Amino acid sequence: MSANIGTVGRSIPRLEARAKVTGRAEYVHNMRVPGMLHAKVFRSTLAHGRIRKIDVSAARAMPGVFAVYTGEDIRKLIAEPYYGPAFHDQPILALDKVRHVGEPVVVVLAVDPHVAEAAAQLIVSEYDELPAVYDEVEAMTSKAVVHEVLKPAGTFPDLKHLKGKRDTNIALDFHLHRGDPESAFAKSDYVFEHTFRTQQVLHLPLEPFATLAVPGDATLTLHTASQSPSFVRIEIARLFGWPENKVRVKVPYLGGGFGAKLYIKTEALAAACAMLAQRPVKLALTMEEQFYMITKHAATLRIKSGVTNDGRITARECEVWWNGGAYADIGPRVTQKSGFTAAGPYDIDHVHIDSYALYTNLPPAGALRGFGIPQLVWAYESHTDMIARALKIDPLAIRRKNLLREGRPQATGTLMRDAALDAVLERLSERVQWEKAFDHGTEKLRRGRGIAIGFKASISPTTSMAIVNLNADGSCNLYCSTVDMGQGSDTAMAQMVAEVLALPMDVITVVHPDTDVTPYDMATLGSRSTYHMGHAVKNAAEDARVKLITLAQELGLSAETTPIPDIFRKKYGMQAGNIVGVGSFIPPYAPPDANGQTPDATPFWMIGATGAEVEVDTETGQFKVTRLVNLVDVGRAINPAIVETQISGATIMQLGFTLSERMDFDAGQVTNASLADYKIPGIRDVPLIMENEAVDAVQKSGPFGAKGVGESGTFGVSPAIANAIDDAVGVRLTSLPLTAEAIYRALREKAGNPLNND
């Protein structure tokens, strides 16, 4: 082995770059196998109702239809056909009740997908309509109850006490209490209280959800577009009552994920169909169907702060209601983990947080690039500016005054370590030249600027395993179940192997997730892979390195100077054998106590801040984001070019959630379920000036000083823009998305001439 060649820290092109630019990269949506049936789903048109009758006779009679299955047919195969990561609340097909518009009720199988689709349209269902609840705050007390009984999955020990709880829509309530907020409010010079709202949006990966299930001899192989192959295997095996090794889950590249393709999505239905039909079944959703599958929580957030005359925040109270939709998915975890940081990146002695995960009759909500954090930052950073304006304090100065510094305890009591909050804030102020005079434009075209900073705890405690296999010719395979959905994990992991074993990149192959081959990983989510899997990969590579050195020594060779093939040849007399290194990683974690206090809430902190400049037409409310500056702390970047793409990609995605994206509903029916009516950012929506920077920082506990990056770019975008709008025209928007209409209405109201609502 030669000396360290410095692969980590270099902007190496993605391993799969050639496959992607030639259109040859493999995605489940494009897969087909001989004898395959296509599955098409008949969905509920009602938000909440008891199933009275389902008539599938016409669909079954249609020529070319192979089979039609209802929830009752699934129940014959699987006695308890309910799944979910936090609660076993979601049926594979609706049973007894439907709980949201778009819920799968019947599935049709045919060789020709057009036949399956046409047959599905012949199905007739009748329901006894039940009262529905859509609003998250109303759900707290609503008489409409989405689930009669709560069914925690048992995966998370701290949800067990909810088992069997009846007649409530509260799936989880998380509480954090630190110090004595009540007295602190009484003693503070000012108390500010504001309420903010965020809208329901969705991930919308361009490759919609897809699973191809292939039955074998009492086994099942799932090719699936999933971010969590290990979870899929365990959950499908549990449903069938099989050992894990009878289910094989394979994941190629993903055409985007963003948190949508986690846990069980199309997998359980495809698996059940394949087992009932004993034929390969492909369930590939349309763009429209993605709107019914999984979304991002709409939320209502109330924040109250006690503040001194000079802008020091002494107490904060937060109440957050998360609209989880009809099935819990990972919502309870969003509620708890985001609850840790709901008070913001500020040093506040007295904090009280109440966070509620609520069931409603809307499409389910889960994790979307930030696990609830972008909603929280939207609220607390709008609130920060509102306080600053009221007290006539500079927005940068109030943040500097209150920022959590290194070594200080955060609201959970966990100390801030390797969290470059101040470096990110200071570098942001330099990049946007905050302390220089700013041109506010003309009376008609006003200009404004705003900043915002947020942080996030990582997902803990979660496990990653990896295997590094050194072949006799010196080439190397890395086996790990991290899913490359575009974030560049294959490349980053290979760089770590190359670094440890001093190998060139082109001799390393990353074996894609295949649960018969690649070892367990909790999932690709929450920006955890670089840190968690990075550690496991580094450990596996180091294990292989030690074994190689030991082998060389046994043979009287130097591993430093002898080429790897020569070491193998001397040992085995020919090109033969392997060296297998294994690695695993689980970070330290201490669960929170009844007051939400823990000395170890997270293995690392993610930090993101944004500076925004806007131009607002005061006559119409039309506005433009003219500049976005994004600063993050990612520790040390493994691949700086890919890191920058992650920052800007996250920022632009959040720009969509800030300016244009909103699921519209009428009686629980989403009315804009297409790219024609639901506007995601296109190339013309990117601000002409966009700058991204990762500050010079090191995560000392991270592999090669690195930590996660995928979500940090989302944190500050929404409040920075709302703060800039306020700076430009003096109106404050408290609901997302920020639209020209909302600004115009606010301007009219400010002028004492409010617009009629009719």
Partner 1 sequence: MTTTRTIQFKLNGEPVTAQIGTHQHLVEVLQERGLTGARESCAQGLCGCCTVLVNDVAVSGCLYLAAFADGANVRTIEHAPEGGLDVVQEAFIECGAFQCGYCTPGFILMTRQLLDEHPEPSEDDIRHYLSGNLCRCAAYPEIVKAVKLAAVKRKSYA
Interacting span for partner 1 (CB under 8 A) from 307-315, 395-403, 682-690, 694-702: 682-690
115 binds partner 1 (CB under 8 A): yes
Interacting span for partner 1 (CB under 8 A) from 173-181, 483-491, 551-559, 600-608: 483-491
**DSSP result, 497-514:** HHHHHT--GGGEEEEPPB
267 binds partner 1 (CB under 8 A): no
* DSSP H or E run through 55: strand 49-55
Residues forming beta bridges with residue 124, ordered by sequence position: 55
Identify which of residues 9 and 461 has a Cβ nearer to partner 1 in the complex.
9
653 binds partner 1 (CB under 8 A): yes
Q: For partner 1, how many residues bind (rule: CB under 8 A)?
A: 60
Determine contact, residues 201/660, Cβ cutoff 8 Å. Answer: no
Q: How far is the CB of 300 from partner 1 (least distance, A)?
A: 27
Interacting span for partner 1 (CB under 8 A) from 253-261, 449-457, 493-501, 564-572: 253-261
Interacting span for partner 1 (CB under 8 A) from 11-19, 34-42, 131-139, 274-282: 11-19
Binding mask 188-217 for partner 1 (x = CB under 8 A): ----------------xxxxx---------
The strand order across the sheet containing 124-129 reads: 97-98, 49-55, 124-129
Q: How far is the CB of 33 from partner 1 (least distance, A)?
A: 13
Interacting span for partner 1 (CB under 8 A) from 114-122, 152-160, 291-299, 468-476: 114-122
36 binds partner 1 (CB under 8 A): no
Q: Which of 35, 63, 243, 573 binds partner 1 (CB under 8 A)?
A: 63
Q: How far is the CB of 612 from partner 1 (least distance, A)?
A: 16
Q: Which of 8, 14, 362, 448 binds partner 1 (CB under 8 A)?
A: 14
What backbone torsions phi and psi does residue 77 show, to the nearest 5 degrees? -90, -40
Determine contact, residues 320/355, Cβ cutoff 8 Å. Answer: yes
Interacting span for partner 1 (CB under 8 A) from 16-24, 341-349, 545-553, 734-742: 16-24
* Beta strand residue intervals within 472-554, DSSP E: 476-480, 508-511
718 binds partner 1 (CB under 8 A): no
| 3 state SS of 148 | coil
Residues forming beta bridges with residue 67, ordered by sequence position: 109
Strand pairing class (210-215; 220-224): antiparallel
Q: Which of 36, 140, 555, 641 binds partner 1 (CB under 8 A)?
A: 641
* d(C-alpha 228, C-alpha 251), whole Å: 9
Interacting span for partner 1 (CB under 8 A) from 328-336, 406-414, 608-616, 671-679: 671-679
- Torsion sign over Cα 521, 524, 528, 529: positive
682 binds partner 1 (CB under 8 A): yes
Identify which of residues 31 and 247 has a Cβ nearer to partner 1 in the complex.
31
What backbone torsions phi and psi does residue 177 show, to the nearest 5 degrees? -140, 125
Q: How far is the CB of 29 from partner 1 (least distance, A)?
A: 6
* d(C-alpha 649, C-alpha 653), whole Å: 6
Greatest pairwise CA separation for the chain in angstroms: 91
29 binds partner 1 (CB under 8 A): yes
Identify which of residues 11 and 219 has a Cβ nearer to partner 1 in the complex.
11
15 binds partner 1 (CB under 8 A): no
Cα Rg of the chain, angstroms:
27
Residues forming beta bridges with residue 367, ordered by sequence position: none
32 binds partner 1 (CB under 8 A): yes
Interacting span for partner 1 (CB under 8 A) from 349-357, 641-649, 701-709, 715-723: 641-649
Q: Which of 124, 546, 667, 675 binds partner 1 (CB under 8 A)?
A: 675
Q: How far is the CB of 718 from partner 1 (least distance, A)?
A: 16
16 binds partner 1 (CB under 8 A): yes
683 binds partner 1 (CB under 8 A): yes
Binding mask 486-505 for partner 1 (x = CB under 8 A): xxx-----------------
Q: What is the DSSP letter of 732?
A: -
Q: How far is the CB of 655 from partner 1 (least distance, A)?
A: 8
**DSSP result, 589-645:** -----TTS--S-S-S-EEEEEEEEEEEEETTT--EEEEEEEEEEE-BS-SSHHHHHH
Catalytic residue among 661, 711, 741, 749: 711
* DSSP H or E run through 215: strand 210-215
**Under rule CB under 8 A, which residues in 325-354 are in contact with partner 1?**
none
* d(C-alpha 548, C-alpha 477), whole Å: 15
Question: Taking Cα atoms as reference points, which of 667, 710, 735, 662 lies closest to residue 291?
Answer: 662
77 binds partner 1 (CB under 8 A): no
186 binds partner 1 (CB under 8 A): no
* d(C-alpha 66, C-alpha 39), whole Å: 10
**What tokens does 201 get?**
């949006």
258 binds partner 1 (CB under 8 A): yes
Q: What is the DSSP letter of 321?
A: E
Q: Which of 45, 308, 578, 648 binds partner 1 (CB under 8 A)?
A: 648
Strand pairing class (350-358; 281-284): unpaired
Is 182 noted as a catalytic residue in this protein?
Answer: no
38 binds partner 1 (CB under 8 A): no
118 binds partner 1 (CB under 8 A): yes
Identify which of residues 564 and 642 has a Cβ nearer to partner 1 in the complex.
642
Q: How far is the CB of 430 from partner 1 (least distance, A)?
A: 21
* d(C-alpha 518, C-alpha 512), whole Å: 8
Question: Taking Cα atoms as reference points, which of 202, 204, 203, 240 lies closest to residue 222?
Answer: 240
SS3 content of the chain, % helix, strand, coil (to 5): 30, 25, 45
Interacting span for partner 1 (CB under 8 A) from 29-37, 180-188, 373-381, 529-537: 29-37
Determine contact, residues 60/68, Cβ cutoff 8 Å. Answer: yes
519 binds partner 1 (CB under 8 A): no
53 binds partner 1 (CB under 8 A): no
690 binds partner 1 (CB under 8 A): yes
642 binds partner 1 (CB under 8 A): yes
* d(C-alpha 527, C-alpha 708), whole Å: 5
Question: Taking Cα atoms as reference points, which of 357, 303, 315, 9 lies closest to residue 181?
Answer: 315
The residue assigned the tokens 């998915």 is 329
Q: Which of 2, 4, 18, 730 binds partner 1 (CB under 8 A)?
A: 18
Residues forming beta bridges with residue 209, ordered by sequence position: none
Q: Which residues are catalytic?
A: 711
- Contact residues: partner 1, CB under 8 A: 11, 13-14, 16-25, 27, 29-30, 32, 63-64, 112, 114-115, 118, 204-208, 253-258, 286-287, 485-488, 641-642, 645-646, 648-649, 651-653, 674-676, 680-684, 686, 688, 690
